Amino acid sequence: MERTGMVGLAAQAGHPVYDVIGVGFGPSNLALAIAAGERGKAAPRALFLERQARFGWHRGMLIEDATMQVSFLKDLVTLRNPASEFSFLTYLHQNGRLIDFINHKTLFPLRIEFHDYLEWAASKVSDVVRYDREVQAVRPVRTDGVIDAFDVTSAGQNGTSVDRTRNLVLGVGLKPHLPAGISRSDRVWHNQELLTRVRELDGRTPGRFVVVGAGQSAAEVTAFLHETFPQSEVCAVFSRFGYSPADDSPFANRVFDPEAVDEFYSAPEDVKRMVLDYHGNTNYSVVDAELIEDLYGRLYRERVLGAERLRTFNVSRVVDVVDTDEDAAVTIESLSTGQKTQLSADVVVYCTGYRPADPVALLGEMGELCRRDQDGRVKIGRDYRVQTTGELQAGIYLQGGGTEHSHGLASSLLSNTAIRAGEIVDSIAAAAARSTGDIADVEEPSAVPDFAGSH
């Protein structure tokens, strides 16, 4: 669909000035693209740059029987616009499964099905996305001494391009985390790449897997490997006595409500820390109760049969992994006794989560114009706009990573994606309405060497 953009949009010698460029195209910026398009004639002119060759979201963990931990009603649009044509229910209807899903009596679809829904939605806004584009630099565009636009340089197989925008939305997600001193290899994996790595085994059966971690992903990986490789031993290592159940009770789930973002944002810092501590068990290092029961059932059954392939090292940690051509030599230490156990493993899978990178690292020296709090964290407005000095007037918005300290536990999760996307689009529209200038006469973007694609 062709979008004309907001009032005052100017194009220069075939190079449009976008109202917003989104870096990354995961669920958050996908929801943003939809929210922008649903403004109709008032839709901002948008472009999204994604380094993957096609849409993909945690493909390495699309285990066949894994389900979502969030209700299908918290899809890309429903909480913002229940009548949207991009809803999960519309997807089901168009794919002939609406009645079947209703009969299934669940709020939690298969993860692989929800991913298919996201791909379906992404295909409907493909005109505003360029895939296979790695953003390399963001440079300032100045008018009368202030930065009121950015030139975004991206590169891919079709060459390098430079696109200009009044606003930038950074939705680059979180980075897989490994403990200090641990590097990925053919034997040492992060669960992010689980299915890809399993396929690369090409029929080979490892003798022993070691799975490190106590959260949902760790439990899912343990169950998957135990079932997929019936001749292999699977050793789960975690610092707790056992997997802890997630608190998904109705009252606790209020921490993910849209109204909770307002309460959290306006709360004093000590209250914010208290809330994060109190309700971390809704999301971090916790496992669905049904999966906990399943894994315990497997352990007990194997003990009865006298063939224990599934082993747990609880109240323990991995203190060393030596990756060799022959195996991965794993040292496990009991936290209660200090006793160390040596294991020879064919594969070690770290399910140690994700961490946010510096959310404004792409800005280079302009990052110094972003205000930070006493802990060095970027200051963010309620509308997810980064607070900057007066010199930097173009908008920078954060999606997900880097906003938990200001907006709460739901900031990097699907729960508030639809609402957050709408709030960011509203903020961009409001800023455009307040603006009285136009950047048509600023220096033109650099020439495009050999990029043939178009918005």
Claim to verify: residue 79 and residue 96 sit in the same structural domain? yes
404 confidence band (pLDDT: 50, 70, 90): very high
205 confidence band (pLDDT: 50, 70, 90): very high
Q: How far is CA 284 from CA 163, 216, 243, 244, 277, in A?
A: 38, 8, 12, 10, 10
- Cβ atoms of residues 26 and 16 within 8 Å: no
Q: Where does a domain end: 332, 354, 376?
A: 354
Nearest CA-CA partner of 172 in 350, 358, 376: 358
Claim to verify: residue 82 and residue 28 sit in the same structural domain? yes
CA dist 18 and 395 (Å) reads 12
**Average pLDDT score over residue span 183-204:** 95
Claim to verify: residue 374 and residue 391 sit in the same structural domain? yes
Q: Where does a domain end: 324, 354, 384?
A: 354
Q: How many secondary structure helices (H) and strands (E) does the chain include? A: 11, 20
Q: What mean pLDDT, rounded, does the chain reach?
A: 90
- What is the phi/psi pair of residue 109, to 5°? -70, 165
Q: Where does a domain end: 323, 354, 385?
A: 354
**Average pLDDT score over residue span 178-191:** 95
Structural domain contains residue 200: yes
Q: What pLDDT digit, counting tens, does each position of 257-271 carry?
A: 999 999 999 999 999
- Cβ atoms of residues 265 and 406 within 8 Å: yes
Structural domain contains residue 429: yes
Question: What are the percentages of helix, strand and coil residues in the chain, rounded to 5?
Answer: 35, 25, 45
CA dist 269 and 388 (Å) reads 21
Task: Report the predicted TM-score, pTM, of the whole model to 2 decimal places.
Answer: 0.90
Q: Output the pLDDT for position 282.
A: 82
- Cβ atoms of residues 165 and 18 within 8 Å: yes
How many of the other CB atoms lie within 10 Å of CB of 50?
Answer: 27
Which three-class secondary structure string do you get for 144-169? CCEEEEEEEEEEECCEEEEEEECEEE
**Average pLDDT score over residue span 317-324:** 95
Strands 146-156 and 159-165: antiparallel
**Average pLDDT score over residue span 157-164:** 94
CA dist 264 and 276 (Å) reads 10
Claim to verify: residue 18 and residue 123 sit in the same structural domain? yes
Beta bridge partners of 370: 388
Claim to verify: residue 35 and residue 87 sit in the same structural domain? yes
The residue with greater pLDDT, 453 or 409, is 409
- What is the phi/psi pair of residue 165, to 5°? -150, 150
Claim to verify: residue 163 and residue 207 sit in the same structural domain? no
Nearest CA-CA partner of 24 in 1, 2, 57: 57
Claim to verify: residue 305 and residue 408 sit in the same structural domain? no
**Average pLDDT score over residue span 388-406:** 92
Nearest CA-CA partner of 341 in 225, 189, 208, 186: 208
Q: What is the CATH number of the domain that holds 188?
A: 3.50.50.60
Structural domain contains residue 38: yes
Nearest CA-CA partner of 428 in 30, 33, 12: 33
- Of 56-65, 416-425, 438-447, which gets the smallest average pLDDT? 438-447
Q: What pLDDT digit, counting tens, does each position of 345-396 carry?
A: 999 999 999 988 788 889 999 999 999 999 999 999 999 999 999 999 999 9
- Of 14-18, 76-80, 248-252, 340-344, which gets the smallest average pLDDT? 14-18
**323: domain range?**
176-246+284-354
- Cβ atoms of residues 34 and 84 within 8 Å: yes
Structural domain contains residue 402: yes
- Of 12-26, 181-195, 270-284, 413-427, which gets the smallest average pLDDT? 12-26
Claim to verify: residue 31 and residue 106 sit in the same structural domain? yes
Claim to verify: residue 400 and residue 323 sit in the same structural domain? no
Claim to verify: residue 197 and residue 152 sit in the same structural domain? no
- What is the phi/psi pair of residue 43, to 5°? -65, 135
- Cβ atoms of residues 25 and 409 within 8 Å: no
Q: Output the pLDDT for position 356.
A: 82
Tokens encoding 273: 């820390």
Residue appearing with tokens 């590097």: 183
Is the pLDDT assigned to residue 309 strictly greater than 90? yes
Calculated CA dihedral for residues 7, 12, 15, 17, nearest 10 degrees = -30
CA dist 75 and 445 (Å) reads 37
Claim to verify: residue 330 and residue 235 sit in the same structural domain? yes
Structural domain contains residue 112: yes
**Average pLDDT score over residue span 186-204:** 95
Question: Number of structural domains, the chain?
Answer: 2
Q: Output the pLDDT for position 442.
A: 36
Structural domain contains residue 256: no
410 confidence band (pLDDT: 50, 70, 90): confident
Residue appearing with tokens 């010199």: 391
Query: Phi-psi bin for 79: left (phi > 0), alpha (psi -120 to 50), beta?
Result: alpha
Claim to verify: residue 68 and residue 135 sit in the same structural domain? yes
* DSSP-assigned letters across all residues of 11-67: EETTEEEESEEEE--SHHHHHHHHHHHTTGGGPPPEEEE-SSSS--SSGGG--TT-B
14 confidence band (pLDDT: 50, 70, 90): low
Can you say whether the dihedral through the CA atoms of 395, 399, 405, 407 is positive or negative?
positive
Query: Phi-psi bin for 134: left (phi > 0), alpha (psi -120 to 50), beta?
Result: beta
Structural domain contains residue 279: no
- Of 289-303, 327-341, 392-406, which gets the smallest average pLDDT? 392-406
